[in-house]
């Protein structure tokens, strides 16, 4: 037996792929060079050179051999260049390829010159003539074996060939000749190749020692491999053979137990049949005779992403007599059942019965009996045949009453009624049997517990679904390019369904991931399997759904095809509106049937029970809907349903219940968007405008302004066809959302058109809610005109709370823009009281934000902190995460201004962690993509604001150089100076940056920023078309202080003085007007500054505004 066990195995064992910290019993954790082994097989780490040592060495420090000396290559770039050339000796590599490999993501300013410099350095340490150039490329004029990596590969192949022909000593000598080439840790770029090559040589070395029966010598080497990777089954098998051969059989069995535990806990799998066979041979016996294993198949490959599910089902089997694994076709139920069967086979009899081929329910018991080898007369007592006829059900009870067993029934859904009868009788007759079933519908018996099998998770690029896809792709085309985001997107579109993922992976043999994803609108044609071992029903994705469709009754089929156009799922009311007519009398009954057949899943949400349909099932439903002739009727009902949702949402917003409406919109967003797209394509303008009103408002709340802008022009074009069918409030909401976004883009022509439409709406629609009517009336007036003032005065005395709240908010904002901060804060506080009383969270958050801005503007950072925190918390509660993050950035700046620098830094760290991974690109997007331009501007602004806040903290802590550099970096991230900087925050940031440099006597470093600031004063106009006086005051302070330090004291003092009258913004500590005036006194003297302040005091605020514009024109 020992001789059999220690025969050198084939190399077909499954090998572990991940490292582990687990300490294996009997296996040291040392590395190879710490293992005590005989000298003739030790891993040599020598620097001694012979005359035939390769010319170039990269298996250790990068070096070259000149005569008998090993000369290190100096410089990281030169080393990287030599490695890039040594990987393919003798082959010409282009300059661009070498530049990419040497500098990677940080190319030099003059790439070719930099490369030439490194080439020159490399030639100085290489033997003459080794480095050749030709037509813009370079190569090493060397044979493969003249680099240590190349020679190691050649020696490895030779050693493996000798091992295959049982030339044990020659194989061992060859492996050692190769291993001597390693001189230390290889460079990062070749480390993986070197590790794989070294592992192959170690494998040859151990196998040769086993062949030579030098078991004691093989043990420490095999122990080191197992210590490096406890899940490596090949190494474990070698170690078990070596220990058994050395007379340590118990230790060998202990190693197997450690492997089984490692695989179960980390990967959810069992040891492969090959390594299990080694264990069985060492035991010297097979499994106990009383245990029978029938119908189980060995796993063809690793089970990916199902470890937790298998564990949960196994636990359920411990407490339930009958467990049914439920799931749609292709979810992997059969594979999981086999895995559970293999686990159970270690301690009980297991029978696996496949029922998919049955055509009649009457055959269920017979099929089970046939799998078990039973007949109705096959009863033996003491070895004698008894001829009395017993039913199959009686025989099953006889079989399972004598010993504990697991009966697995696979694919029960089409014969589920008879399966339920058989199983119920079986578990009632004996407590020795446990039943595991897989089905698309449950049995519905008392003893049953169900386990709904979820799809594989697709949470990112390292999720179970993407791991399965990548592993299957590597099996069919190892060189395929797998971009993580594209893979995740594809797996998400495929619902995380294992069968669909595997079918898609098979197509990568001839297509790219992106091409497959682009063609998934025809997934049933695309996803077909050429694997002849698959059941016919799993050869195509269409066949999988067909199997389930044919198990539905006519009512369930009608409901499924009518409900397939809800991409985000639906509730019972939606199902009634869209599907309950003609063939469907009671849709709730049909939904129960669809859930039981795993065609729908049920999810409990904050707004109630919702039903979801897999994307694959939805596409199948579309196919059936088109064939039924009901598509037109379903589209009409969907538009009616979507309109009812939009009306409900707009009423909820107006009624002060935005939180509930946000929850509803989160649930229905994708459904409403799908209907809006269809309506736009079919030119149902009224429905487009109705749905845009709530979608646009929802997007604006979420900070998804690019979505609004991408739809804005199309929606306004639809309005030209009229909005007669659009409900009053929804028509007003749509126009107000458009106006707000066009205003920030400065599109005056489109705003004018919206004002015309709003005037018409106000005169023709009597049913508009008071709050929306007020907002519309304010918009049609010029913000600086008397009409708005009268309207606000009347609105503040309104009987409607929402009108009064909105009026106070508008008046507060207008007062802030005019520099009347006391009035702004007073009205903001009134609005906040009303908003809180109404329970209107959105109004609370936005009003608190306005109040915080007023306090921050005036330099009262402590009060600003209080209100920014209120606003940020409410926005987060409303799931307006983007808005909340932006508000928290202002909160960090206010904390720094209030002297709470450490708190500010901590908050900045949190915000940067949230933003981590977002790519900041400074190249401008296409002018045609207004949404992309908005996104890019927002991205720049967010990144710049965080950088500026950290810079402010650095200055407050005394790190002047670091702080100033941070402010300049923030300007660069924000794209300043630019021809048209439209983001108001960027104007604030520029003023803060200029102020910082001036206050620290570095004005010359921001001269370009000041030039851009003075060149475009009209960029600080607020959306209503009038000047933001505090913003212009901030510009005056920054430019004035700069001019004083540059030498134009008279102009600078005038600007600085008038900025105080204009109540210039002071959001950053470096914008504080008094600090700049103190600095001005130090240069210009008290008399000149006092005179400037006295002159400025005579201006009204509007007069101060005009004076600032006049003075800026002189700069």
Map out the domains of the chain with their CATH numbers. 2-46+150-283 (1.25.40.10), 56-146 (1.10.10.10), 293-452 (3.40.50.300), 464-545 (no CATH), 560-624 (1.10.10), 630-780 (1.25.40), 785-915 (1.25.40.10), 929-1114 (1.25.40)
Q: What is the mean pLDDT of residues 740-761?
A: 80
What was the pLDDT predicted at 403?
59
List Cα–Cα distances, 1012 to 165, 937, 977, in angstroms. Answer: 79, 18, 6
Q: What is the mean pLDDT of residues 217-231?
A: 89
What was the pLDDT predicted at 408?
92
Q: What is the pLDDT of residues 238-251, one digit of tens each?
A: 999 888 888 887 78
Query: Do 529 and 501 form a contact (C-beta atoms < 8 A)?
Result: no
Q: What is the pLDDT of residues 271-287, one digit of tens each?
A: 888 888 888 777 663 33
Distance CA 636, CA 639 (A): 5
Most confident of 24-38, 981-995, 1071-1085: 1071-1085
Distance CA 862, CA 872 (A): 16
8-state DSSP, 725: T
Tell me the two tokens of residue 635.
């589209």
Query: Do 1003 and 1022 form a contact (C-beta atoms < 8 A)?
Result: no
Q: What is the mean pLDDT of residues 249-266?
A: 82
Q: What is the pLDDT of residues 115-171, one digit of tens each?
A: 888 888 888 888 888 888 887 788 888 888 888 888 989 999 998 889 888 888 998
Give the alpha-carbon dihedral of 122, 124, 130, 133, to 10 degrees. 60
Q: What is the pLDDT of residues 390-440, one digit of tens each?
A: 466 666 666 665 557 899 998 888 888 889 988 998 888 777 789 999 988
Give the alpha-carbon dihedral of 1013, 1019, 1021, 1022, to 10 degrees. -110
Q: What is the pLDDT of residues 807-824, one digit of tens each?
A: 999 999 999 988 999 999
Contacts of 569 (CB under 8 A, 6+ apart): 603, 610, 611, 612, 613, 667, 671
- Give the confidence band of 893 by pLDDT, cuts at 50, 70, 90: very high
Residue 429 half-sphere exposure, CB side, CA atoms within 13 Å?
Answer: 16
Q: What is the mean pLDDT of residues 776-805?
A: 84
Give me the residues paired with residue 384 across strands: 381
Query: Do 295 and 373 form a contact (C-beta atoms < 8 A)?
Result: no
Is the per-residue pLDDT at 1038 higher than 60? yes
Is the per-residue pLDDT at 15 higher than 60? no
Q: What mean pLDDT value characterizes the chain?
A: 81
Q: What is the pLDDT of residues 471-526, one digit of tens each?
A: 887 877 787 788 888 888 888 888 787 878 777 787 776 677 787 777 665 555 55
User: What are the start-end ranges of the E strands in 894-992?
Assistant: none
Pairing of strands 349-354, 601-605: unpaired
Helix (H, G, I), strand (E, B) or coil at 391: coil
Of 395, 345, 342, 388, nearest in space to 370 by CA: 395
Q: What is the mean pLDDT of residues 824-836?
A: 95
DSSP per position, 1-68? -HHHHTSPPPS-S----S---PPPTT-----GGGS---GGGS--------TTS-SEE-SSS-EEEETT
pTM above threshold 0.85? no
Q: What Rg, from alpha-carbon coordinates, does the chain have?
A: 38
Is the per-residue pLDDT at 1020 higher than 50? no
Q: Which residue has the tokens 């037996």?
A: 1
Distance of CA 783 to the CA centre of its chain: 44
Distance CA 1060, CA 1066 (A): 11
Tell me the two tokens of residue 98.
């070498």
Helix (H, G, I), strand (E, B) or coil at 449: strand
Is the per-residue pLDDT at 944 higher than 80? yes
**Per-residue b or e along 103-135, where b marks 16 or more CB atoms closer than 10 Å to that residue's CB:** beeeeeeebeebbeebbebbeebbbeebbeeee
What was the pLDDT predicted at 983?
66
Q: What is the pLDDT of residues 515-554, one digit of tens each?
A: 777 766 555 555 554 454 445 444 466 777 777 788 789 9
What was the pLDDT predicted at 482?
80
Share of the chain above pLDDT 90, in %: 31
- Give the confidence band of 978 by pLDDT, cuts at 50, 70, 90: low
Residue 992 half-sphere exposure, CB side, CA atoms within 13 Å?
Answer: 34
Is the per-residue pLDDT at 57 higher than 60? yes
Q: What is the mean pLDDT of residues 891-905?
A: 94
Is the per-residue pLDDT at 47 higher than 60? no
Q: What is the mean pLDDT of residues 665-678?
A: 92
Most confident of 59-73, 378-392, 538-552: 59-73
Tell me the two tokens of residue 24.
């294996």
Most confident of 584-593, 880-889, 1006-1015: 584-593
Of 590, 584, 595, nearest in space to 617 by CA: 595
What was the pLDDT predicted at 933?
54
Distance CA 936, CA 955 (A): 28
List Cα–Cα distances, 387 to 76, 265, 399, 402, in angstroms. Answer: 87, 50, 17, 20
- Give the confidence band of 850 by pLDDT, cuts at 50, 70, 90: very high
Query: Do 776 and 1055 form a contact (C-beta atoms < 8 A)?
Result: no
Distance CA 524, CA 545 (A): 10
What was the pLDDT predicted at 477?
76
Distance CA 351, CA 331 (A): 22
Helix (H, G, I), strand (E, B) or coil at 869: helix
Distance CA 601, CA 783 (A): 52
- Give the confidence band of 924 by pLDDT, cuts at 50, 70, 90: very low
């Amino acid at each position: 037996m020992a001789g059999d066990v220690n025969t050198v195995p084939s190399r077909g064992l499954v090998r572990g792929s991940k490292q582990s910290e687990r300490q294996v019993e009997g296996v040291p954790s040392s590395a190879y060079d710490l293992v005590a082994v005989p000298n003739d097989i030790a891993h040599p780490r020598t620097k001694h050179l012979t005359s035939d040592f390769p010319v170039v060495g990269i298996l250790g420090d990068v070096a070259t051999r000149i005569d008998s000396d090993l000369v290190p290559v100096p410089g990281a770039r030169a080393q990287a260049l030599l490695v890039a050339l040594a990987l393919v000796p003798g082959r010409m590599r282009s300059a661009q390829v070498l530049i990419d490999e040497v500098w990677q993501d940080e190319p030099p300013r003059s790439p070719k010159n930099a490369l030439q410099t490194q080439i020159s350095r490399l030639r100085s340490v290489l033997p003459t003539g080794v480095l050749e150039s030709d037509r813009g490329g370079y190569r090493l004029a060397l044979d493969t074996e003249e680099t240590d990596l190349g020679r190691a590969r050649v020696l490895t192949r030779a050693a493996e060939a000798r091992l295959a022909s049982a030339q044990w000593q020659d194989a061992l000598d060859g492996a050692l000749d190769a291993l001597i080439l390693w001189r230390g840790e290889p460079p990062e770029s070749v480390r993986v190749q070197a590790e794989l090559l070294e592992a192959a040589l170690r494998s040859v070395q151990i196998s040769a020692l086993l062949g030579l029966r030098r078991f004691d010598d093989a043990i420490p080497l095999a122990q080191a491999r197992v210590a490096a990777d406890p899940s490596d089954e090949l190494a474990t098998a070698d170690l078990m053979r070596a220990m058994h051969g050395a007379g340590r059989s118990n230790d060998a069995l202990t190693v197997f137990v450690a492997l089984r535990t490692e695989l179960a806990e980390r990967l959810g799998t069992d040891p492969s049949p090959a390594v299990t066979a080694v264990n069985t041979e060492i035991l010297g016996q097979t499994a106990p005779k009383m245990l029978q294993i029938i119908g189980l198949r060995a796993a063809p490959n690793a089970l990916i992403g199902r470890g937790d599910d298998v564990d949960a089902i196994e636990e359920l089997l411990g407490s339930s007599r009958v467990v049914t694994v439920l799931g749609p076709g292709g979810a992997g139920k059969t594979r999981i059942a086999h895995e559970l069967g293999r686990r159970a086979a270690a301690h009980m009899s297991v029978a696996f019965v496949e029922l998919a081929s049955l055509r009649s329910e009457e055959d269920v018991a017979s099929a089970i009996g046939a799998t078990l080898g039973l007949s109705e007369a096959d009863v033996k007592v003491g070895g004698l045949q008894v001829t009395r006829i017993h039913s199959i059900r009686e025989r099953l009870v006889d079989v399972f009453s004598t010993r504990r067993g697991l009966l697995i029934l696979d694919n029960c859904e089409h014969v589920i009624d008879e399966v339920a009868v058989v199983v119920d009788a079986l578990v009632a007759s004996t407590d020795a049997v446990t039943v595991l079933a897989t089905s698309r519908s449950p049995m519905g018996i008392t003893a049953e517990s169900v386990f709904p099998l979820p799809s594989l998770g697709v949470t990112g690029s390292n999720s179970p679904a993407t791991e399965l896809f990548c592993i299957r792709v590597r099996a069919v085309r190892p060189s395929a390019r797998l971009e993580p985001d594209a893979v995740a997107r594809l797996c998400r579109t495929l619902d995380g369904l294992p069968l669909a993922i595997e079918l898609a992976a098979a197509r990568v043999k001839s297509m790219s991931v992106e091409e497959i994803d682009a063609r998934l609108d025809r997934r049933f044609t695309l996803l077909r399997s050429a694997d002849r071992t698959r059941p016919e029903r799993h050869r195509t994705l269409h066949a999988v759904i067909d199997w389930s469709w044919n198990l539905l009754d006519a009512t369930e089929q009608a409901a499924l095809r009518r409900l397939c156009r809800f991409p985000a799922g639906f509730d019972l009311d939606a199902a009634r509106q869209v599907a309950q007519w003609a063939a469907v009398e009671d849709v709730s009954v049909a939904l129960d049937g669809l859930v039981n057949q795993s065609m729908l899943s049920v999810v409990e949400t904050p707004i109630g029970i919702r039903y979801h349909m897999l994307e694959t099932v939805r596409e199948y439903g579309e196919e059936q809907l088109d064939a039924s002739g009901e598509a037109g009727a379903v589209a009409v009902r969907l538009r009616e349903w979507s309109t009812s949702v939009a009306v409900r949402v707009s009423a909820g917003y107006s009624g002060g219940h935005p939180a509930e409406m946000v929850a509803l919109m989160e649930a229905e967003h994708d459904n409403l968007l799908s209907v809006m797209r269809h309506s736009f394509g079919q030119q149902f303008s009224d429905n487009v405008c109705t749905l845009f009103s709530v979608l646009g408002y929802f997007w604006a709340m979420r900070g998804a302004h690019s979505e609004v802008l991408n739809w804005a022009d199309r929606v306004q074009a639809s309005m030209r066809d009229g909005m007669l069918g659009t409900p009053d409030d929804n028509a007003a909401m749509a126009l107000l959302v458009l106006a707000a976004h066009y205003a920030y883009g400065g599109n005056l022509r489109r705003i004018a058109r919206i004002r015309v439409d709003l005037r018409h709406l106000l005169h023709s629609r009597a049913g508009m809610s008071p709050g929306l009517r007020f907002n519309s009336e304010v918009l049609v007036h010029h913000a600086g005109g008397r009409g708005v003032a009268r309207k606000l005065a009347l609105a503040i005395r309104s009987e409607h709370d929402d009108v009064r709240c909105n009026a106070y908010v508008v008046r507060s904002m207008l007062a802030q823009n005019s520099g009347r901060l006391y009035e702004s804060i007073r009205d903001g506080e009134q609005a906040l009281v009303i908003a809180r009383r109404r329970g209107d969270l959105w109004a609370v958050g936005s009003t608190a934000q306005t109040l915080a801005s007023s306090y921050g503007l005036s330099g009262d950072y402590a009060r600003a902190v209080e209100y920014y925190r209120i606003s940020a918390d409410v926005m987060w509660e409303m799931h307006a995460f983007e808005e909340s993050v932006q508000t928290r950035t202002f909160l960090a700046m206010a904390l720094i201004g209030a002297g709470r620098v450490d708190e500010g830094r901590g908050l900045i760290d949190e915000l940067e962690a949230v933003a981590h991974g977002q790519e900041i690109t400074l190249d401008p997007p296409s002018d045609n993509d207004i949404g992309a331009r908005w996104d890019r501007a927002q991205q720049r602004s967010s990144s710049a604001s965080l950088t500026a806040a950290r810079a402010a903290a650095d200055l407050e802590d005394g790190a002047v150089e670091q702080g100033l550099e941070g402010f300049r970096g923030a300007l660069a991230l924000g794209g300043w100076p630019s021809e048209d900087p439209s983001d108001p925050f960027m104007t604030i940031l520029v003023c803060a940056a200029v102020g910082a440099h001036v206050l620290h006597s570095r004005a010359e470093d921001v001269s370009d920023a000041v030039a851009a600031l003075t060149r475009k004063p009209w960029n600080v106009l607020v959306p209503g078309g009038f000047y933001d006086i505090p913003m212009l005051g901030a510009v005056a302070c920054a430019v004035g202080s700069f001019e004083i330090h540059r030498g134009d004291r008279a102009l600078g003092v005038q600007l600085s003085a008038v900025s105080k009258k204009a109540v210039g913004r002071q959001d950053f500590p470096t914008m504080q007007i008094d600090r700049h005036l103190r600095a001005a006194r130090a240069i210009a003297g008290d008399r000149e500054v006092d005179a400037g302040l006295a002159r400025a005091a005579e201006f009204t605020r509007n007069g101060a505004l005009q004076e600032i514009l006049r003075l800026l024109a002189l700069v």
